[in-house]
Structure 1
């Protein structure tokens, strides 16, 4: 059965995100938190064949879509099936093999469609799983100095809060503060198309 989902944003941003990843990914496994449809996962697995891209999502419909994409792209022998990870249910249940080969963690367009507690949990668990020098990358919109970087982000933020008043675009400085609590420093922030950013955090302890 074909359970593939199609998220239009993936087609627009996967190449530019891949360009950022290409400068950082070197070996081992990458864990993606909140993989959604799975379109990013299979694209990055094909672009970076030397690594193992491990997807995850708490939603069964999304995990079925990811599995369908893995099969559709003929990656069944290379790419593991998605893990059921709810970022707030800690500790995350991940295979020992993944824990031993983990090189970095990526989360794309997740924290603004989640409560702040999810951001806290993301850094807390990532800080436990990653070793010194390894990376955590966040992609999506951010406020800078508590101000939106565009008018479209202002309206987008309001639309998110109408769906759930605990959702919304996060303030970059607050996210950075949370990273420091868990042994990370903000290595780089990269301007991306459509008023998004790729923020690279590196484990220092």
Structure 2
């Protein structure tokens, strides 16, 4: 059965996110938290065949979509099936092979459709899994100095809060403070299309 989901945002941002990843991906495995439809995962697995892209999502409908995308793109021999990871249910249950080969963690368009405690959990568990020099990348919209970077982000933020009062675009400085608590430094802030950013964090000491 074809359970693939399609998100228009993936079509727009997958190439530019891939360009950011190409700067830092070397070898080993990458864990994606909140993989959604899985469209990003299969694109990045094909673009970076020398790594293993491990998707994850707490929602069954998303994991079914990811599995369908893996099969559709003929990646079943190269790409593992998605993990069931709820970012707040810690410790995350990941295979030993992934823990040993992990070089970085990526989360795309996740923290603004989640409560703040999810951001806290993301950095806490990433800090436990990653070693010195390894990366955590966040992609999405952010407020800077508690101000929106565009009018469209202001309206988007309001629409998120109407869906769930705990959701909303996060303030970059607060996210950075949380990263420091868990042994990360903010390496780069990259402006992306459609008023989004890629934020690269590096672990500054071993777990």
TM range (shorter): over 0.9
Q: Report deviation, 1:186.
A: 0.2
Q: Report deviation, 1:7.
A: 0.5
Q: Report deviation, 1:195.
A: 0.1
Question: How far apart in 2 are the matches of 1:94 and 1:181?
Answer: 23
Is 1:203 aligned with 2:203?
A: yes
The unaligned stretches of length 5 or more in structure 1 are none
Aligned residue for 1:76? 76
Is 1:31 aligned with 2:31?
A: yes
Aligned residue for 1:56? 56
Q: Report deviation, 1:166.
A: 0.4
Question: How far apart in 1 are the matches of 2:164 and 2:42?
Answer: 30
The alignment yields a C-alpha RMSD, in angstroms, of 0.2
Aligned residue for 1:20? 20
Question: How far apart in 1 are the matches of 2:7 and 2:33?
Answer: 16
Question: How far apart in 2 are the matches of 1:61 and 1:143?
Answer: 30
Q: Report deviation, 1:89.
A: 0.1
Question: How far apart in 2 are the matches of 1:77 and 1:151?
Answer: 45
Question: How far apart in 1 are the matches of 2:130 and 2:180?
Answer: 14
Question: How far apart in 1 are the matches of 2:15 and 2:107?
Answer: 16
Which TM-score applies when normalising by structure 2? Answer: 0.99
Counterparts in 2 of 1:89-108, with a 5 A limit? 89-108=89-108
Moved over 3 A (4+): none
Aligned residue for 1:191? 191
Aligned residue for 1:159? 159
Superimposed CA distance per residue, residues 47-103 of structure 1 (whole angstroms, 9 cap, x where no aligned partner): 000000000000000000000000000000000000000000000000000000000
Aligned residue for 2:176? 176
Q: Matched residue pairs, number?
A: 205
Question: How far apart in 2 are the matches of 1:198 and 1:23?
Answer: 12
Question: How far apart in 1 are the matches of 2:57 and 2:118?
Answer: 13
Q: Report deviation, 1:41.
A: 0.1
Q: Report deviation, 1:123.
A: 0.0
Which TM-score applies when normalising by structure 1? Answer: 1.00
Aligned-partner SS, 2:187: strand
